[in-house]
Structure 1
Amino acid sequence: MEFHLQPQKADTTVFEGEGGGYYAWTPPKTPVVEEAVIGAGRLVLQPQGFALPHYADASKIGYVIQGRCTVGLILADKDKPEEKVVIINEGDAIPVKIGSISWWYNGGDSDVSIIFLGESSQSHSRGQFDYFFLSGAIGILRGLSTEFVSKMYGLSGEQSKELVESQSNALVVKIGATIHLPQESNCKQEEYIISSLGVGVEMTSPLVDEVGLTPKLVRLEADTMLDPYYSMAHQIMYVTKGGGRIQMVGLNGARVLDEVVEEGHLIFVPKFFLAAFMATHKGFEFFCVSTSPRALSMHVGGKSSAYKALSSSVLEAALNVSPEFVKSFKSGI
């Protein structure tokens, strides 16, 4: 399958208001999200910004680019619903399983920015995360009649209308001074978040097993290079800081991408395609999510290179070079 691999910044403002906004990559402008059945979105919460309780039709992993955020979670696979509250900080990753209810609140005095990456094979809208809200202008209760709502919750007709219609805003609102949302964790943080995601290390844990995705943070110093590699799973990457150059090789040894990328770009690397990254003088950092809980990879450069592992005689025959060249080549890896 041929993919549109051009790096892209968020192409659509889904919502923007006083409390913050949500920005997405969509199939019409970023075709690869539909082609590869992935999804990506960025949530920005201003101080006192509150993302209304919702669930989604896709599993994803959120990575905190900036700030500190309070998150409420109700997991979909529990017999008795129970709200878990966790605090996530810059550099933390939080897996959000398909169908689980969550809300997000910025109780600080500076903006919070979170990037969400995942797969969208079960989404109603291929290539996007579809959200269903428990309240607000597009809340799910607005689709039910007053008679149904009254019967469900034991309310009068007027009370039912108040329940459904009082919150007239959508997606993100700004909380007034009279409401004090939780700002402390009520559970073991490590059961729900991955704190201080290790640089260059793909995380394996019950958390990533449940969502079926693997997060990794990659950081390159100025003017350095990441050893070229290929992965056995699709990879979605978001440039969090700095920038650099990426080259990608696909079928039949063809270079399919050679681009300069910068902060805010979304990059997609198809499984088994060779990817090589080179940082600028500002360095290069990106958050990466693989569409598998056990994303194996193989390096073809650096000390872990497959070329280094091959026998000298095998390389001599495969490359059609002299023994002296092979010796020089392997010693330089």
Structure 2
Amino acid sequence: MSSEANSHLPRYKNEVYEFEIVITCKEKNGMRSLTRHVYFSPPHVLLSPINLNTDALYSPLHHNPKLASYLPLINTMAKHLALAFSLCLLVLFHGCLASRQQSSQQNECQLNQIQAREPDNRIETEAGRIESWDYNQDDLQCAGVAVQRITIERNGLHLPSYTNTPRLAYVVQGRGHLGMVFPGCPETFEESEQSDEEQQDQQQQRQGQQGQQGQFGQQGQQGQQDFEQLDRHQRVRRVKEGDVIAIPAGVTTWSHNDGDRSLVFVTLLDIGNNHNQLDQNPRRFYLAGNPQDEFNQQGQRQQGQQGRSRQQRQGNNNNNIFAGFETQLLADALNIDQQTAQQLQGQNDNRPQIVRVQGRLDFVEPPRSQREERQLQGQQGQQGQNGLEELFCHMKIKQNIGKPSMADVFSPQAGRISTLNSFSMPILRHLRLSAERGFLYNNAIHSPHWNLNAHEIVYVIRGSARVQVVNDNGETILDDQVRQGQLFVVPQNHAVLQKAMSNGYEYIAFKTDDNAMINTLAGRTSVLRALPDVVLANAYQMDREQARNLKYNRQETLALSSSRSSQSQVLVGVNEM
């Protein structure tokens, strides 16, 4: 608005209040302040015409005898000004946050080189191991993620824990059980009767504890008697190779290997997700055991050191969350004796995250045929996206994308690719994550492409491939042969080309959007296919026949068979021999 536009309105000024709004943003490279000046006048006075392009104060005009006729207008303007003042604060605040996030991501994603790496940290336990990649590396910092590989040996139990971030886990091999505790949801699995073995165990425990529970309250004894008869718990799911499991932030999980070989998970933790309200460090909170630090073996995080020193001041070296409470307070809160509270705190338990189960891990589980029937009913109920499957407690949290029948793209010569997004598993909309499973035959090619709206974190399950990643300057920032067990990152909009070697190539790719989209550079759905041949001819200095060959040489979409050029090179090499 210019000053001339309102020159016909008489204005009078007694005083003008100037507000200076300063919002300070904390960034990695220092502090940054946003400052704005807001000028406000009480509703009983008028201002001279304001030029919005300057921050100058305006001199008062002479009193206007028609002032009273403008008072209703002035009052309305004052209300609008108050609203504008509030909006100004809101916009500045969000602008500061956006500026912080944008500046941070811009600095972290200026990548000159990417490497395919194996895990940097390793924790050995009595029944498995936990490995993690250094999330402080530039490529993982750019993607805003951390990655773990968890191996549970036969009859091993990964103790209950939760994280500050949403997780997406893929079962690389093996089979077992996964328990997930959704807060406020009912215990839908319960025993109908106790086995003779359980009854004998309980009788022996009661006889051994009669002399030790003299101080235990009558109410606690009655409560124990009420609940020891039958066990009930939330649903336990069976998982197997090829399953993708979605885990919201703060949701407790545990897992058990009842198979005949190791159960291996690869898990992505989305640190940059807005569900993580802490800092940009992955944190896992254990409810049992004496866990070691899974991500900071060299003590990089100061907060963790402060937490450990606080526990040492309390005379407690355990690291599960119960260990931080005073024993008596914990006993009062749970209505248990102090000995049980000490067991919760793990005061005499030096076992880390994965422990070996003594005997058989016996819990409530429906027969296999009934479970399959329930899964089928759940899938049928979800097609309409309403009813029980829309409830939080009944959300579908896993889906197998490793089976050939789940392929979205299949080529008899090249292989298959399966995708999992929020359309096929709605809980991913809440987590803002998705996944892709690829199985490429010998020398097949995953069409060169870029991700429109997500970072891509690729873990090699089996085989090997030649991989190249190109940035916005046309520079190759990754050119390597990746192999089983390695991980690499493809930042958003960076072009990537993957070609399987002679032993094939299997991978799982996690993506940081629930509906990640790609644009290919080769094949029937490529950007080249969509451009007019005359545009291609002029862009690449070729004739139109060459341009049409460029467009139509590939009829596949994503999984591309070995090209004629590579086949001819192989034949030439054979002839020379």
Identity of aligned residues (%): 22
Of residues 43, 50, 53, the one that matches 2:157 is 50
Contact in 1 for aligned 2:177/2:237 (Cα 8 Å): yes
Of residues 481, 500, 504, the one that matches 1:283 is 504
**Structure 2 residue 271 is matched with structure 1 residue 120:** yes
Residue 33 of structure 1 aligns to a residue whose secondary structure is: helix
Give the TM-score normalised by the residue count of structure 1. Answer: 0.92
Structure 1 residues 217 and 45: CA distance shift in structure 2, 3 A? same
How many residues are paired up?
329
The higher relative CO (CA closer than 8 Å, separation ≥ 6) is in 1
Residue 275 of structure 1 aligns to a residue whose secondary structure is: strand
Code of the aligned partner of 2:155: Q
- Partner of residue 287, structure 2: 134
Unpaired segments ≥5 residues, structure 1: none
Q: Distance in 2 between matches of 1:123 and 1:10?
A: 26
Structure 1 residues 125 and 67: CA distance shift in structure 2, 3 A? farther
Q: Distance in 2 between matches of 1:124 and 1:169?
A: 28
Deviations 1:73-131 (A, max 9, x none): 0124x4657622100111111111111100000012211111112411227563x5311
**Structure 2 residue 358 is matched with structure 1 residue 176:** yes
**Over aligned residues, Cα RMSD in angstroms?**
2.1
Larger helix share, 1 or 2: 2
Give the TM-score normalised by the residue count of structure 2. Answer: 0.54
Residue 420 of structure 2 aligns to a residue whose secondary structure is: coil
Residue 245 of structure 2 aligns to a residue whose secondary structure is: strand
Structure 1 residues 196 and 251: CA distance shift in structure 2, 3 A? closer
Taking the TM superposition and a 5 Å limit, the aligned residue runs for 1:280-319 are 280-319=501-540
Unpaired segments ≥5 residues, structure 2: 1-108, 188-232, 291-318, 380-395, 408-416, 555-577
The alpha-carbon deviation at position 196 of structure 1 amounts to 3.4
Code of the aligned partner of 2:512: T
Deviations 1:14-60 (A, max 9, x none): x21221111100135x4422332111001101111000011011112
Taking the TM superposition and a 5 Å limit, the aligned residue runs for 1:57-206 are 57-76=164-183, 78=184, 83-121=234-272, 122=276, 124=278, 126=280, 129-137=282-290, 138-165=319-346, 167-177=349-359, 179-181=361-363, 188-189=374-375, 191-197=396-402, 198-199=406-407, 200-204=417-421, 205-206=425-426
Of residues 191, 209, 219, the one that matches 2:439 is 219
Code of the aligned partner of 1:295: A
Contact in 1 for aligned 2:135/2:147 (Cα 8 Å): no
The alpha-carbon deviation at position 182 of structure 1 amounts to 5.1
Structure 1 residues 110 and 79: CA distance shift in structure 2, 3 A? closer
Q: Distance in 1 between matches of 2:470 and 2:522?
A: 14
Deviations 1:239-273 (A, max 9, x none): 00101110111112222211110001111000000
Residue 210 of structure 1 aligns to a residue whose secondary structure is: helix
Q: Distance in 2 between matches of 1:288 and 1:314?
A: 34
User: Larger Cα Rg: Structure 1 or Structure 2?
Assistant: 2
Contact in 2 for aligned 1:235/1:291 (Cα 8 Å): yes
Structure 1 residues 178 and 295: CA distance shift in structure 2, 3 A? closer
**Structure 2 residue 126 is matched with structure 1 residue 8:** no
Of residues 452, 461, 465, the one that matches 1:244 is 465
Structure 1 residues 221 and 179: CA distance shift in structure 2, 3 A? closer
